[in-house]
């Protein structure tokens, strides 16, 4: 999944949980936690692979049910014990959504749950040795070419529909993050 897809997927899951359990708007801290936790596995593992060359692919310890998941579960549990249940839940749900999204993402070769079992399951290294910026640019370029192709109009319509739906959900949640940004720039004074 691409970064914004992880964010949208994780936000929907946390928003639904928040509505079911707490019946309150999502706080700015929770929104920031969702943003960071939905991106953290890729930021860590892609850096370990693409920049540092410590793992063969961008699916390493942060994507692992054996390494990353226990650490995130422990940190989320500590948040719960410190009366930060909503932050702990945001962390756990957003991180878990990233793993679920990567394992179940629609691909030509089907789901790939093995990506979550590092170091027991590893994949062949990349065919080209590109750094973080070059590989990110390559993937984003491929995405732009894909959505620019007139044959992929259904994909574009789907993206617009999902983005619009999540934007409405975010507005119904009280636009978390905007309040914080307004405070930072002093617009609420």
**Could you read off the pLDDT tens digit of each residue along the chain, which spans 189 residues?**
899 999 999 999 999 999 999 998 899 999 999 999 999 999 999 999 999 999 999 999 999 999 999 999 999 999 999 999 999 999 999 999 999 999 987 666 678 888 899 999 988 888 888 888 999 999 999 999 999 999 989 989 998 999 999 999 999 999 998 877 777 887 655
Total H helices, total E strands in the chain: 7, 0
pLDDT at res. 167: 95
DSSP labels, 71-130: HHHHHHHHHHHTT-HHHHHHHHHHHHHHHHHHHH---TT---GGGGSTTTS--PPPSS--
Rounded to two decimals, the pTM is 0.89
pLDDT at res. 31: 95
Which phi and psi angles does 75 have, rounded to 5°? -65, -45
Token digits for 5? 């897809």
Whether residue 185 contacts residue 179, with contact meaning beta carbons closer than 8 Å, is answered with no
pLDDT at res. 45: 96
Contacts of 100 by beta carbon, 8 Å cutoff, 6+ apart: 9
Q: Where are the domains of the chain?
A: 3-185
User: Is the previous residue joined to 135 through a cis bond, with omega within 30 degrees of 0?
Assistant: no
Q: Tell how far CA 104 is from the center of its chain.
A: 13
């Amino acid at each position: 999944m691409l970064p914004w897809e992880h964010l949208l997927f994780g936000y929907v899951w946390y928003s639904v949980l928040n509505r079911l359990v707490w019946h309150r708007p999502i706080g700015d801290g929770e929104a920031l936690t969702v943003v960071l936790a939905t991106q953290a596995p890729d930021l860590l593992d892609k850096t370990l692979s693409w920049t540092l060359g410590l793992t063969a692919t961008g699916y390493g310890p942060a994507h692992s049910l054996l390494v990353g998941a226990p650490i995130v579960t422990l940190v989320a549990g500590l948040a719960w014990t410190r009366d930060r249940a909503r932050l702990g839940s945001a962390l756990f749900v957003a991180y878990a959504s990233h793993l679920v999204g990567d394992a179940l993402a629609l691909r030509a070769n089907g789901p790939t749950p093995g990506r979550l079992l590092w170091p027991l399951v590893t994949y062949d290294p990349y065919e080209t040795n590109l750094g973080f910026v070059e590989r990110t640019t390559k993937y984003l370029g491929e995405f732009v070419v894909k959505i620019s192709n007139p044959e992929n109009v259904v994909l574009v319509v789907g993206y617009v529909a999902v983005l619009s739906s999540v934007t409405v959900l975010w507005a119904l949640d009280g636009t978390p993050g905007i309040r914080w940004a307004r405070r930072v720039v002093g617009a609420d004074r």
